[in-house]
Amino acid sequence: MSRQDAFSAYDAVLAEAAPNDPWAHTRGDEPRYLPDFGLLGNLLSIPVRGNEASESGRFAKGIDAWLAHELRRCGFDGDEVWPRATRPRVLPREISMLLSKLPRALADDLRRRLPQISAVGPADAKVLGRAYYKQVDVCISRWDRGPELLISTKAQLSSFGKNLPNRFEEAYGDAANLRGRYPLAAVGFFFVQRATILAEEPDAYERTVDMIRKLRGLGEANGYTATGLALVDWTTDSPDGAVVKVDTDAVPPDIGPAQFLATMVEHVLAVTPVVHHVAVRSRLERRGIPVAEEEPDSPEAGS
């Protein structure tokens, strides 16, 4: 797997980032999620330093890589969360299980071939919605459960007011398309803007906040399960080049990254039995849950 992909620039940073527990509450308290904003800044600094912030979608891929890492921090299996931390970025968990059972030489050879077989190990996750196929940027899925979490991400670093209506229209249509086919899935929209919007176009920022709130479903099936906004910025006078920082103060808590991730995770758990995602539940509930993770071929399954 020597050939690189759009996520390869982030591999080294992600490899050093441990998927540590993101929850900061104690048992019985209101859940409190602490995103790893330092990691997000480190990831996004890579395309900024390479003058690729607005080119080829590399900046947006950094957002996707970060969200996928956050889900792994919650306890979701690394082969169920796409994009994966290594190539191929999209790989059915069952194929990964098969690779683990094969002789090493055969498994290594198959791993080298997988990126060349787009139908098995594609670079992006595309799912069929109610009306059309949609490339989802971050996904949790298994063949026996189907898509459980679907996130669309967008980045806007300039021309804020000019492009905002198009972002709203696209996002709203995608929500109806995905939730129309997967009504139980957690369907989310995560938006990242450069913090210069606060000084340059404060009116556009107010409309952004309003948009993020209005994209949520209010009981109907055509809005998102959760929406989130993050503001980032950077300067170019650092000895190491541009360093991206996340502005954690300007974004209202009800649309911030912490509530977004917490809502998405809690929704996935709410619509699945307790015998699924046991590790995720244990971290969230701050206790050991005395059940085993159920697999589709276990004696209990289907009983």
Indicate whether 62 pLDDT > 60. Answer: yes
- In this prediction, residues 225-238 reach a mean pLDDT of 91
Q: Are residues 115 and 247 both part of a single domain? A: no
pLDDT computed for residue 1 by the predictor: 46
pLDDT computed for residue 9 by the predictor: 92
Q: Are residues 143 and 108 both part of a single domain? A: no
Q: Are residues 174 and 195 both part of a single domain? A: yes
Higher pLDDT, 92 or 137: 137
95, two tokens = 């194929």
- In this prediction, residues 9-36 reach a mean pLDDT of 95
Work out the pLDDT band at 241, boundaries 50, 70, 90.
Answer: confident
- The structural domain count of the chain equals 2
Q: Are residues 159 and 228 both part of a single domain? A: yes
Q: Is 240 exposed, middle or buried (0-12, 13-18, 19+ CB in 10 A)?
A: exposed
- In this prediction, residues 210-217 reach a mean pLDDT of 93
Work out the pLDDT band at 218, boundaries 50, 70, 90.
Answer: low
Higher pLDDT, 23 or 51: 23
Which percentage of the chain shows pLDDT scores above 70?
92
Tell me, yes or no, whether 184 lies in a domain.
yes
pLDDT computed for residue 220 by the predictor: 62
Tell me, yes or no, whether 150 lies in a domain.
yes
Indicate whether 122 pLDDT > 80. Answer: no
Tell me, yes or no, whether 97 lies in a domain.
yes
Work out the pLDDT band at 297, boundaries 50, 70, 90.
Answer: low
Tell me, yes or no, whether 1 lies in a domain.
no
Indicate whether 303 pLDDT > 70. Answer: no
Question: What's the chain's Rg over C-alpha atoms?
Answer: 19
Higher pLDDT, 295 or 152: 152
Tell me, yes or no, whether 192 lies in a domain.
yes
pLDDT computed for residue 265 by the predictor: 98
User: Residue 42 is part of which domain span?
Assistant: 10-18+31-84+124-285
- In this prediction, residues 27-40 reach a mean pLDDT of 96
Tell me, yes or no, whether 274 lies in a domain.
yes
Residues 214, 147, 5, 43, CA torsion sign = positive
Q: Are residues 108 and 242 both part of a single domain? A: no
- In this prediction, residues 105-110 reach a mean pLDDT of 86
Q: Are residues 210 and 97 both part of a single domain? A: no
Q: Are residues 129 and 117 both part of a single domain? A: no
Tell me, yes or no, whether 221 lies in a domain.
yes
Work out the pLDDT band at 299, boundaries 50, 70, 90.
Answer: low
CA distance 75 to 269: 12
Q: Which residues contact 46 (CB under 8 A, 6 or more apart)?
A: 9, 10, 13, 58, 62
- In this prediction, residues 152-157 reach a mean pLDDT of 94
Cβ neighbours around 247 below 10 Å, total: 15
Higher pLDDT, 2 or 90: 90
Q: Are residues 106 and 185 both part of a single domain? A: no
Q: Are residues 191 and 42 both part of a single domain? A: yes
Q: Are residues 62 and 191 both part of a single domain? A: yes
Please give the mean pLDDT across all residues of the chain: 89
pLDDT computed for residue 199 by the predictor: 96
Tell me, yes or no, whether 172 lies in a domain.
yes
Q: Are residues 189 and 266 both part of a single domain? A: yes
Higher pLDDT, 237 or 195: 195
pLDDT computed for residue 56 by the predictor: 55
Q: Are residues 94 and 165 both part of a single domain? A: no
